[in-house]
Structure 1
Amino acid sequence: MSASPNQHLAVGEPLHGVDAVVLVGGKGTRLRPLTLSAPKPMLPTAGVPFLTHLLSRIRAAGITHVVLGTSYKAEVFAEHFGDGSALGLELEYVVEEEPLDTGGAIRNVADRLRADDVMIFNGDILSGVDLPAVLGTHREANADVTLHLVKVPDPRRFGCVPTDAEGRVTAFLEKTDNPPTDQINAGCYVFRRPVVESIPVGRPVSVERETFPGLLESGARLQGHVDASYWLDLGTPAAFVQGSADLVRGIAPSAALPGPAGQAIVLDGARVRDDVELTGGTTVGTNCMIGNGSRIDGSVLFDGAVIGSEAVVERCVIGASAKIGDGTVLRDVVIGDGAVIGAGCELVDGARVWPGVELPDGAVRFSSDC
């Protein structure tokens, strides 16, 4: 494939002539029960749906035309964001009727694209990458595809992407036990539009296992943009809690926080007693109630959650309208919407309570569903 003319883009310069595609069709099964009622990108994260943070960064970079590739609970996105004008964007929605995998989902939105370059985002990645810098790398290298790559301590769980001295991608190794490099696929790409249009239509296509290896085999230029910016995959409850806390504390960048960065964000309508301790990047949703002497650390309380007196909640997600009894201790757990946890309970180490479940006073749960 021939690349477009070399166009250098300085770091920090707005992105003109670029479309954005955000892939938000996944079911978020690893985050259940949180995703039973909402798609993963719409979960409240530091006070707003996670997707709001990503869209705000896209807009801040100067991109205004964004296509959302939706599937699971597709209507939720349009109901919340509408035409995107509130964010200064022009949003379009393309629904994936059957699962098409990442490459197929990208191809599925091709008829909505207008620009020569397309910046594509996985909708569950929290990142601080400089978007103009990624596009600058893409254009300077005359690349067909540019991949944002980050270095991680243990790359075995991710797509491993070695590059040569010029930053050109030499292989794409999906979840290998013996990775030759610590560089991984960070879930943000720039595609030339003809590359998008070359992806097969109407069937599942893995961009990692089919599209990228096929492009390498054909001699296309795949370029890596490696940086040390903040990066987190929000696919698990622990990562979701960490990402929200990092946003609240200002560790992860966002222009969409509903309040100043700090130890906690408390949304309008929440009632928090004066002696309550809120730390670690906690978010307290609208109409929440927290009783006397409770300590909430690094946790996310969805709208309407009620925490009793003298409770301890650490690194947890408390679902909408859930009720936590007096003196209960929760550490590293997920409480589903509307669940009721009795007084004096102890739940720790990854326990998950499903929506509507009621636990009696004094119940103890370790790393189990209930």
Structure 2
Amino acid sequence: MTEEVANYGASTDAVILVGGRGTRLRPLTIGTPKPMLPTANYPFLQHLLARIQTAGITHVVMSTSFKAEVFEEYFGDGSELGLDIEYVVEETALGTGGGIRNVYDKLRHDTVMVFNGDVLSGMDLSGILDTHHRKDADVTMHLLNVADPRAFGCVPTDEEGRVLEFLEKTEDPPTNQINAGCYVFKREVIQTIPADRVVSVERETFPALLSDGHLVVGHVDNSYWRDMGRPDDFVRGSSDLVRGIAYSPLLDGRTGEAIVDESAGVAGGALLLSGTAIGRGSVIGAGCRIDGTVVFDGVTIEPGAVVNNSIIASGVHIGANAHIDNCVIGEGAQVGARCELQGGMRVFPGVVLPDAGVRFSSDA
């Protein structure tokens, strides 16, 4: 089976949908597409590309839109990653189905694996491809078992794995299988999606395929899965990568309590805990406690500061003895000494908070 699965990868195109604006992560996404945000010290998308390459897939088509040039500037033709990457730019938003149809002319193979570019997943790519080919399916969907499916669209299947219907969010779901946002298509099916208009693959394409008698099957598992769209999920996802809870080939042999870029400086007595990531050229002062936090490049955190479950963007300066809990600090912002920020606060790029300028305590 291993040899067969490897062959499946070699004859599969990967399509990654990375056109979204990432508004829930603002201000981090004002100038950077969400899939390019540093996650465990690599652009988030690079973890997915590494898993695609590990599965034997080499041809990748990125469907881009917002800040499209950033992807090509960073990844180029993909050769340094062992990949062959091409780019297609959506001039106007086309939805999931429209985005998939829009890359049709770039496809080289009869099997096409589609990924949502803002999902962190531990799914077995080779296993999904194996299911697709064994069942000779027109479309294979990655389905995830979750404890509480009420917040998701549910996808019931029969004993053979055939998808029966697609259900919107409901208070009494008939199954705990949800659509995890990864699909394998026969190329000919993609050609049937209407071109040059908005198409929802979930609401339009898949129901139409079922009603027309096409074979849509589910590959069901309990793998790691997280939508990285909100700050708390982004922090948790990066932390899980650092700790090895979520797997990335980029971090083989380097997982643990923290990952620190070799160019960063961490003073003695500083504590880096719970999957913290420290980016290039960042400096962490003595006596700091950085817990479950993503620190981008070129950040300075002065001695005695405490930062929990937060995202600190590039070029930020955090003053001595500041306390930051569950916050997003935008690029180049300055947080003065002894400031206290908490409860989902977002500090936008370039904002300067003076020493003790924001406090929850009564003493300054």
TM-score using structure 2 length: 0.95
Distance 2:113 2:32 in 1: 25
Q: Is the 8 A contact 2:146 2:222 kept in 1?
A: no
Distance 1:11 1:156 in 2: 34
Distance 1:217 1:198 in 2: 14
Change (3 A) 1:116 1:365: farther
SS in 1 for 2:249: coil
1:205 aligns with 2:171: no
Unmatched segments (≥5 aa) in structure 2: none
Of 63, 72, 77, the residue aligned with 2:66 is: 72
1:273 aligns with 2:267: yes
Structure-1 residue corresponding to 2:111: 117
Q: Is the 8 A contact 1:270 1:289 kept in 2?
A: yes
Of 12, 16, 22, the residue aligned with 2:10 is: 16
Deviation of 1:157 after TM superposition, in Å, equals 2.4
Structure-2 residue corresponding to 1:254: 248
Change (3 A) 1:290 1:131: same
1:54-79 per-position Cα deviation (integer Å, ceiling 9, x unaligned): 00000000000000000000000000
Of 52, 68, 92, the residue aligned with 1:58 is: 52
Of 208, 215, 219, the residue aligned with 2:209 is: 215
Of 144, 153, 157, the residue aligned with 2:147 is: 153
1:93-172 matched pairs, under 5 angstroms: 93-172=87-166
Q: Is the 8 A contact 2:6 2:56 kept in 1?
A: no
What amino acid maps onto 1:50 in structure 2?
F
Is 71-80 or 264-273 further displaced after alignment?
Answer: 264-273
Q: Is the 8 A contact 2:123 2:224 kept in 1?
A: yes
Distance 1:152 1:241 in 2: 21
Distance 1:206 1:94 in 2: 18
Is 262-271 or 173-182 further displaced after alignment?
Answer: 173-182
Distance 1:259 1:266 in 2: 14
Distance 2:2 2:141 in 1: 17
Deviation of 1:363 after TM superposition, in Å, equals 3.9
Change (3 A) 1:82 1:215: same
Of 28, 35, 39, the residue aligned with 1:34 is: 28
1:117-166 per-position Cα deviation (integer Å, ceiling 9, x unaligned): 10000001111111111011111111110000111222222221111111
1:180-217 per-position Cα deviation (integer Å, ceiling 9, x unaligned): 21111111110000111100000000011101111111
SS in 1 for 2:259: strand
Identity %: 60
1:223-272 per-position Cα deviation (integer Å, ceiling 9, x unaligned): 00001111111111111111111111111111123971111111132111
Structure-2 residue corresponding to 1:339: 333
1:184-199 matched pairs, under 5 angstroms: 184-199=178-193
1:327 aligns with 2:321: yes
Q: Is the 8 A contact 1:9 1:133 kept in 2?
A: no
Structure-1 residue corresponding to 2:290: 296
Structure-2 residue corresponding to 1:286: 280
Deviation of 1:171 after TM superposition, in Å, equals 1.0
Let me know the Cα RMSD of the aligned residues. Answer: 1.7
1:29-66 per-position Cα deviation (integer Å, ceiling 9, x unaligned): 11111111210100000011011000000000000000
Change (3 A) 1:9 1:162: farther
Q: Is the 8 A contact 2:121 2:225 kept in 1?
A: yes
Distance 2:331 2:359 in 1: 18
Q: Is the 8 A contact 1:124 1:235 kept in 2?
A: yes
Change (3 A) 1:191 1:338: same
What amino acid maps onto 2:58 in structure 1?
T
Distance 2:8 2:159 in 1: 28
Distance 2:85 2:124 in 1: 22
What amino acid maps onto 2:43 in structure 1?
P
What is the aligned length? 360
SS in 2 for 1:190: strand
